[in-house]
């Protein structure tokens, strides 16, 4: 009799608990993982910041969906916490401190090398893992930091790629063909690119006939084009952002100056928006890139379609690097104490990732060297008939370059 009453009491108690606390008894529980994202959402780089963020957003959406499926009762929920640098290192520093106070476990950013250089120093001081999808300047990762990582290689490697491409296509084999002009915006990024290009010009016996810088916020570049016309280079190595590169292209076209080969150091000219802003004036330009949907690898066009379906435009190398970087962070978190920045840092130090995300990279995997730089090989694309085509290296190219 007593046992029957006890069982009846337990059933009644269970029924009451279900009525009062249904969500706590049966709902899924989630552990929030905060990812800080530092980008110039305001100002002349806002369009590129949007492209960076879209790569992160797509990855986070996929990761959260996967987490719910794999861990039905207790899953990780990845939350993006934004920080607007406004393209200013000082403001970027303030946002870095704010993200730290908000409890982010990792920071992704900050596109601009100058902002990334200063904010990574703060991250190192606060011991917050900082993962760089795009900023290239060499000395960002040459300060013996332990909490700073970069998925791509250094800016000097991009510069070397330019000269290797030119050499492979017999464009440096005579003094008349090896007349090179360096044109770059005047921020830290442009200055360091020019320095690296000068270094490799000596190694490849190239004659630098012009080295000119300009502000990326200018609305008139006639004087830059006039200096190019006067110097008469056979090759122009261009380091620029989005709007300034489009303006330069339109100005060259207006002045009917189309004789030199243009080889851009990525950045602005690889953004699909560049094709629209340049108004079809950049035909046959060459652009250093990290990714293109026509690379000779499986899954490239499938990713393009997936990204386009979500954001209504095609991705560029920047979006892909942010996408792969976010999946790399997820991989590190899966192999660490999820609430410990220190454990995530240790996991990133040892990361070797081969999955659907890393397959998008030219080498097909994510691995970092002792300085935190990615084992990475850039590609060269060419704008032909208003589209980007992979033309180098040959193993990944979909067509020959038009020279």
**Beta strand pairing call for 29-39 and 106-109:** parallel
pLDDT of residue 25: 44
Query: Which one, of 402, 403, 382, 377, lies nearest residue 297 by Cα?
Result: 377
| Cα distance between residue 253 and residue 271, in whole Å | 20
Amino acid 131: pLDDT: 98
Residue 92 CB neighbour total at 10 angstroms: 26
Looking at residue 266, its pLDDT comes to 79
| Tokens of residue 368, six digits | 């970092």
Averages of pLDDT over runs of 10 residues in the chain (403 residues) are 54 55 57 96 94 98 92 84 98 99 98 96 98 94 97 92 94 82 94 94 93 96 97 95 96 93 91 92 96 95 97 94 98 86 96 96 95 94 96 96 93
Count of residues making up the chain: 403
Q: 374's torsion region: left (phi>0), alpha (psi -120 to 50) or beta?
A: beta
Domains and CATH numbers, the chain: 29-152+297-372 (3.40.50.2300), 156-289+378-392 (3.40.50.2300)
The pLDDT value given to residue 15:
55
Name the pTM for this structure.
0.87
373 Cβ contact partners less than 8 Å away, ≥ 6 residues apart: 141, 150, 152, 153, 154
Q: How far apart are CA 399 and CA 174, in angstroms?
A: 25
């Amino acid at each position: 009799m007593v046992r029957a009453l006890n069982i009846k009491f337990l059933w009644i108690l269970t029924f009451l608990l279900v009525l009062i606390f249904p969500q706590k008894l049966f709902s899924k529980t989630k552990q929030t993982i905060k990812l800080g994202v530092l980008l110039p959402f305001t100002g002349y780089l806002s369009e590129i910041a949007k492209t960076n963020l879209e790569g992160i957003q797509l990855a986070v959406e996929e990761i959260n969906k996967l987490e719910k499926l794999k861990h039905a009762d207790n899953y990780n929920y990845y939350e993006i916490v934004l920080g607007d640098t406004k393209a200013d290192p000082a403001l970027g520093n303030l946002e870095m401190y704010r993200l730290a106070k908000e409890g982010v476990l990792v920071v992704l950013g900050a596109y601009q090398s100058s902002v990334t250089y200063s904010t990574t120093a703060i991250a190192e001081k606060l011991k917050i893992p900082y993962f760089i999808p795009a900023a290239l300047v060499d000395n960002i990762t040459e300060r013996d930091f332990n909490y700073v990582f970069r998925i791509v290689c250094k800016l000097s490697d991009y510069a070397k790629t330019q000269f290797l491409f030119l050499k492979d296509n017999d464009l440096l084999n005579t003094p008349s063909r090896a007349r090179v002009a360096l044109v770059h915006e005047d921020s830290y990024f442009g200055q360091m690119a020019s320095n690296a290009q000068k270094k490799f010009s000596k190694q490849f016996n190239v004659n630098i006939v012009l080295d000119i810088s300009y502000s990326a916020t200018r609305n008139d570049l006639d004087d830059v084009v006039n200096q190019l016309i006067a110097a008469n280079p056979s090759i122009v190595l261009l380091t620029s952002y989005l709007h300034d590169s489009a303006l330069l292209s339109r100005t060259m076209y207006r002045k009917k100056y189309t004789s030199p080969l243009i080889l851009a150091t990525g950045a602005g000219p690889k953004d699909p928006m560049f094709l629209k802003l340049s108004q079809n004036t950049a035909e046959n330009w060459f652009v250093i890139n990290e990714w293109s949907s026509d690379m000779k690898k499986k899954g490239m066009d499938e990713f393009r379609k997936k990204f386009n379906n979500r954001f209504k435009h095609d991705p560029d190398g920047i979006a892909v690097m942010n996408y792969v970087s976010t999946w790399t962070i997820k991989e590190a978190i899966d192999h660490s104490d999820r609430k410990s920045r220190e454990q995530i840092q240790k996991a990133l130090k040892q990361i070797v990732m081969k999955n659907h995300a890393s397959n998008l990279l030219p080498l097909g995997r994510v691995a970092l060297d002792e300085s935190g730089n990615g084992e990475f090989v850039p590609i060269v694309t060419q704008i032909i008939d208003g589209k980007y085509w992979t033309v180098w290296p040959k193993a990944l190219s979909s067509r020959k370059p038009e020279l």
